[in-house]
Structure 1
């Protein structure tokens, strides 16, 4: 049961990085950079619910790393 929950958490965490790949490629083509916003924290008045910017290098790879870690732990 624990492995099933860990696998489900890994899928949830990996959903954002995988689903944003097309927009990252479009951003690279139009602006020359994958991640145009370098801020880590954004005020909630700008529309982000948790005030953490996932549309930058740190946010993207932290979610990717956490998802892969949970995926690895689900098979052990």
Structure 2
């Protein structure tokens, strides 16, 4: 037995309904969405990567919550 089961507790969904509408990438990531990044960092292909942070934040760092940081002008196709 592991995790919450060994404590006789059941998991709860901590994601609020509609959260995907404010996440810049438009979906709520699942644990398996992070796996490939972890595999890369543990692989020989990342042997030159030192002291880096891999920001897996679903776009919050670039776009903020719910809209593009600084406005939506970057979404215009005619530029």
The TM-score normalised by the length of structure 2 is 0.29
Report the structure, 1 or 2, having the larger helix content.
Answer: 1
The TM-score normalised by the length of structure 1 is 0.29
Greater RCO, 1 or 2 (C-alpha within 8 Å, sep 6+): 1
Structure with bigger gyration radius:
2
